[in-house]
A = this chain, B = another copy of it.
Amino acid sequence: MHNPDITSEIPQAGTPAPGPVPPDLSADLPTGLPSPLSTDVSAGEVLAPYLHARAADFLRGLRLHTESGADTKGAAEAARILRAAARRISGTLHTFRPLLDAAWADPLRTELAWLSGTLALEHACTSRLVRLMDALSRLSSGTGPVPAARGAQGAGLTVGAARAGALLDRQLTLARTRAHSAALQALGSSRFHAVADAVALLASEVPLGPAGSARAVDTLDAPAQDVEHRLLDAVAALPLTRAAHPYNAEALALATGEAQDTPWHHTRRLLRLHRYAAEVLHGAAAADPVLYEAARALDRHRDAAEAAAAAATAARTPRIAPATAYALGVLHADQRHDVEAARFAFQRAWSQATAAVP
C-alpha cells in the first residue's frame, strides 16, 4: 500500500538549456516554446548543464538538511529539494541513457530511486494524514448554518468521525515516525554518502557515452520521443471517455479499486518522465501549464487512492466500534470519489493539452 514514489511536487525553476536557435524538434505534445537545440550543439552540451544544475540543487538540499538540525520545517524543505533533484537526475539518466555511460548511470539511478523513495515516505504519511483529517472534518461538520437542523445521522457520524480521526492519527503518526527514523538513518548511512559523492561529481562532470558527443539535434530527440510515445500509449489505454462523464461512479467499484488504479499510476510516472525530458530540452521555464495541471490531477489521483486505502486499512483494526468503522467507510468512499474527480480533472487537462497542438 505504501507507494515509495509519493511526493506532491512543485516544479523547480531549472536552468534553461543553452543555445537559442530552432530547428523545432518538439514532439506531439505542446511545450510552449520552440526547441532551443541549435545544430552546432552536442548532446552532452545539452544534458550536462541540466544535470549540473540538478546536482547543485541536490547539494543545496543536503546543505540545508545539515544546517536545519531540529528545525522540522527546514528539514522538510531540505527533503523536498533532495527528492525533487533526485527524481529529475534519475529521470534524465533513464530517458537519455543511450547518450550516457550506462555503467555509471544505471547504478546511480537505482541509488537515487532508493533515496527519493525513502525520503518520500515521511512526506506521504504527513500529507495523507492531513488529507484524511480535512475530509473527516468536512464530512462530519458540514457547511450548513443551522446546527439544530442536523439530523441523527450527522450526530452519529460526528462521534464515529472523532474516533476514526483518532485511530488514523495514531496509525499514520506511527508510520510517519518510522519513516522519519528510516529517512534519518538513510541520510546518515554510507550508502547515502556514496550517492552524495556521485552527485557531487555530477555537479561538475557528466560521464557521457560515445553518442554523447554527437549533435544534439540528431540524438536527443529520439529518447525524448520514446518517452512521449510510451506516455501517449499509456493515456490511450485509460478509460478517458468514461472519465469525461461526470459522476460515472467507476472509481467507487471498491473491490477492483487497486487494480483499476494501476494504469493511472503508470501514466503518472510516464508523464513525469516526459515533463523532465521537456525540461532538459526546453528548460523548466517553458513547461506547459496544462500538462502540469494534468500531472497535478494524477498526483491527486494517487494521493486520494492511497488515502482511501489507509481508511480501509484502519477499518480492519481489530475491536473497533461500529461507529468508527462506519465513519471509515464513509471516508473510504469519499476518497474514492476524489479518485474519480481526479480522473475527470486529468481528462479535462489532457484534452486541453492535446487540443492545443496544431
Interface set of A (CB-CB < 8 Å, partner B)? 138-144, 146, 149-158, 160, 246-247, 249-250, 252-260, 308-309, 312-313, 315-316, 320-334, 337-338, 340-341, 344
Given A156-B312, A325-B326 in contact, is the A142-B334 Cβ separation under 8 Å? no
Q: Which 7 A-B pairs have the closest CB atoms?
A: A329-B329, A142-B256, A144-B256, A154-B255, A333-B333, A247-B341, A246-B246
Q: Which residue in chain B gives the minimum CB-CB distance to A324?
A: B322
Residue of B nearest to A143 (CB): B253
Which residues of the other chain, B, contact A332 by a CB distance below 8 angstroms? 153, 326, 329-330, 333
Q: How far is the CA of A195 from the CA of B329 in the complex (A)?
A: 47
List of B residues within 8 angstroms of A308 by Cβ: 153
Q: How far is the CA of A306 from the CA of B225 in the complex (A)?
A: 53
Q: Smallest CB–CB gap between A323 and chain B, Å? A: 7
Q: What copy number does this chain have within its complex? A: 2
Alpha-carbon gap, A259 to B152, bound state (A): 11
A342 and chain B: residue at smallest CB distance = B247
Residue in contact with A257 in the complex, picked from B154, B325, B333, B340, CB distance below 8 Å: B154
Whether the pair A158, B315 counts as a contact (CB closer than 8 A) is no
Contact partner, A150, options B141, B255, B309, B341, Cβ 8 Å: B255
Could you say which residues of chain B place their CB within 8 Å of the CB of A150?
A: 255-256, 258-259
A160, A247, A344 — which one has the most chain B CB atoms within 10 A of its CB?
A: A247
Query: Can you list 11 contacts pairing A with B, beta carbon distance less than 8 Å?
Result: A138-B249, A138-B253, A153-B309, A154-B255, A246-B344, A247-B344, A249-B338, A249-B341, A329-B329, A332-B333, A333-B333
CA A142 – CA B261 in complex, angstroms?
13
The answer to whether A325 and B329 touch across the interface, beta carbons within 8 angstroms, is yes
Whose C-beta in chain B lies nearest to the C-beta of A317? Answer: B322
Contact A247–B143 (Cβ < 8 Å) = no
- How many angstroms between the C-alpha atoms of A139 and B313 in the bound complex? 17
Cross-chain contact of A341 among B143, B246, B325, B330 (Cβ < 8 A): B246
Residues of B close to A325: CB separation below 8 A: 322-323, 325-326, 329
Query: A139-B253, A329-B331 are known contacts; what are 17 more A-B pairs with Cβ within 8 Å?
Result: A138-B253, A141-B253, A142-B254, A142-B257, A142-B260, A144-B256, A149-B256, A149-B259, A153-B257, A153-B332, A154-B255, A157-B254, A246-B246, A247-B344, A321-B322, A325-B329, A330-B332
